[in-house]
């Protein structure tokens, strides 16, 4: 029969082992998410260039004139949609850089 000290040691080791396992899983998941975040940055830069350039305004004007097909997905023409995404991206970059 194990002594109280041995039982406490076993309980502590099991507890710490659970922390190690959970932390390892979560860090691996975070590494995957960060890799995906880094991979999308070029496309986000492309979206920002579109939004801040003349092509976005041209596309919006065509939409407002009713010249685009009704079934065309056009969330990208929403000022709030792109702006909010760009802000979220900046905020996440700031959090990562801290």
Q: What is the pLDDT along the chain (98 residues), one digit of tens a residue?
A: 689 999 999 999 999 999 999 999 999 999 999 999 999 999 999 999 999 999 999 999 999 999 999 999 999 999 899 999 999 999 999 999 98
- 13: phi > 0 → left, psi -120 to 50 → alpha, else beta; which? alpha
Domain range annotation of the chain:
4-97
- Distance from C-alpha of 35 to C-alpha of 68, rounded to nearest angstrom: 36
Cβ 77 vs Cβ 60: under 8 Å: yes
pTM of the model: 0.79
């Amino acid at each position: 029969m194990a002594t109280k000290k041995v039982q406490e040691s076993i309980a502590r080791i099991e507890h710490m082992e659970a922390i190690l396992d959970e932390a390892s899983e979560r860090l691996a998941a975070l590494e995957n998410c960060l890799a995906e975040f880094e991979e999308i940055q070029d496309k986000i830069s492309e979206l920002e260039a579109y939004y801040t350039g003349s092509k976005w305004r041209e596309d919006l004007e065509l939409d407002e004139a009713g010249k685009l097909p009704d079934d065309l997905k056009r969330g990208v023409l929403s000022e709030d949609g792109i702006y909010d995404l760009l802000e979220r991206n900046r905020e996440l970059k700031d959090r990562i850089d801290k």
